[in-house]
Chains A and B, each alone.
Chain A
Amino acid sequence: MIHVQNRELVVPGQLIAEGGYSIREGAFREGDRIYASVVGLTDLHGQDIRIIPLQGRYIPKRGDAVIGVVIDTHYSGWILDLNSPYVGNLFVSDLLQRKVDLLREDISMYLGMGDVVMAKVKDVNELMRVQLEASEAGMGKVTGGKLVELVPTKIPRVIGKKGSMIAAIQNASGCRIKVGQNGRIMIWGDDPRMVNAVVEALLMIEREAHTSGLTDRVRLTLEKIKSEGGT
């Protein structure tokens, strides 16, 4: 028996359901009852119960695409800040996809402090030690562009179903966008006005993630700004 509506705002300790439902996120079970553990929106599908948190830090998961910032170097690689309680380790061999003779090569020519890096989470162990890799196409150090940070729980909305939202933003603005699951987003564009418009669109998505028709509103807003650009 479910005690809440779909898309209802719930608070920690609030009774969500009684019975054998499956908890996906944001809730816990005490005996026969299921309670919310975070402030969030209910997302109920059949037997699945998910509370989408409205706030919260990013916790790295294997396979996630992330955007990190180099904060430390060591003999064979770098430590990246991931906008998370946990940092990521990137070995130079996971950046270059080849064995590196550390006695001969100076790895500082590849990445330095403060560099922004597109990477993927290769592995996370029980002690939350995070290994990153960045050898695929489109990964590695990024330059230029603008870096934006959103609440990580809103990222799925920024991507949209099958990438529909991100495609709409790119098409309507003419900018190139890369999204990290850790809440960071890189924007590149020739027209600084459109780059700022994309930032505005992303903030709009963050605010209105729970509403419907958002993809269309975002596309229309961007197209309007683009057409006001003049010659």
Chain B
Amino acid sequence: MEKPEKLIIDGKRLDGRLPDELRPLKIQAGVLKRADGSAYVELGENKVLAAVYGPREMHPRHLQQPDTAVLRCRYNMAPFSVEERKRPGPDRRSVEISKVTREAIEPVVFLELYPRSAIDVFIEILQADAGTRTTGITAASVALADAGVPMRDLVSAVAVGKVDETIVLDLNKQEDNWGTSDMPIALMPRKKLITLLQMDGHFTPEEFKQALALAFKGCEQIYEAQKQALRERYSIKSEGE
């Protein structure tokens, strides 16, 4: 892939979007039979599957916490999810993403209700198209609710960045590769509390504020889609049907 000369032409991004538009989003809850909770999310060409097992018995026992559940997250990319085949198994990037994902979700879960147990979250990237870690968090959050794990709120996540001096929402692959800044964010939308924040690139303090505001807008839309997916999963047929 060669660097395009311009990433924004006449106010429109290369994929036709305006700077504050999300890619097409689809969320389904309860897609797996074995897992206690699950969710499937498509954002642009991202295809992400999340599953939750738990609360369940925690092994190895010496890692059990006497007064709280332990939340464990595993982010994994399928070898066929990217252009150049990725060797199976965790690499350093996956390990870091697993950690920040866990830290993005932990604040909302009522872990203290399940001492000595484990809540396991598995995120599989089936097809990657920039923004997999935030899509993973969005999916994991729905999967946790689908599993009946008590939470203070859902967690919604999206990436914002700067390309051609413009702050944009939900970077696509070219923008991720050739843009100036990339900032994934996760929120507890109800109280606008930020549980994941990473950034690489360059922002002035002003640009950062702008980017944050744009991320909040994006997360609100994602939040609505998450809630809708859960409602649809358990949609009640009218009485007497």
Contacts of A198 in B (CB 8 A): none
- Number of chain A residues close to chain B: CB under 8 A: 30
Q: Choose one: A9, A37, A41, A55; the contact of B151 (CB below 8 Å).
A: A37
Residue B13 at the chain A interface, CB threshold 8 Å:
no
Q: Choose one: A56, A85, A211; the contact of B239 (CB below 8 Å).
A: A211
Contact digits for B212-241, partner A, Cβ 8 Å, 1 yes 0 no: 000000000000000100110111110111
Q: A85-B56, A87-B57, A127-B66 are in contact. Are A39 and B145 (CB under 8 A)?
A: yes
B63 CB to closest chain A CB (Å) equals 15
Residues of chain A from 1 to 53 with CB closer than 8 A to chain B in the complex: 9, 11-14, 26, 28, 35, 37-39, 41, 53
Report the number of A-B residue pairs with Cβ-Cβ less than 8 Å: 97
A9, B236: Cβ atoms closer than 8 Å: yes
- Number of chain B residues close to chain A: CB under 8 A: 40
Residues of chain B from 144 to 189 with CB closer than 8 A to chain A in the complex: 145-154, 188-189
Instruction: Specify the main secondary structure of chain A where it touches its partner.
Output: loop
Q: How far is the CA of A213 from the CA of B239 in the complex (A)?
A: 9
Residues of chain B having any CB pair with chain A under 8 Å = 36-37, 54-57, 66-67, 108, 110, 113-118, 145-154, 188-190, 227, 230-231, 233-237, 239-241
The 27 sampled A-B contact pairs (Cβ below 8 Å) are A11-B227, A12-B153, A13-B151, A13-B153, A13-B154, A13-B188, A13-B190, A28-B152, A35-B152, A38-B150, A39-B145, A39-B146, A39-B233, A39-B234, A57-B55, A57-B56, A85-B54, A85-B55, A85-B117, A85-B118, A126-B67, A127-B116, A128-B114, A128-B115, A211-B237, A211-B241, A212-B240
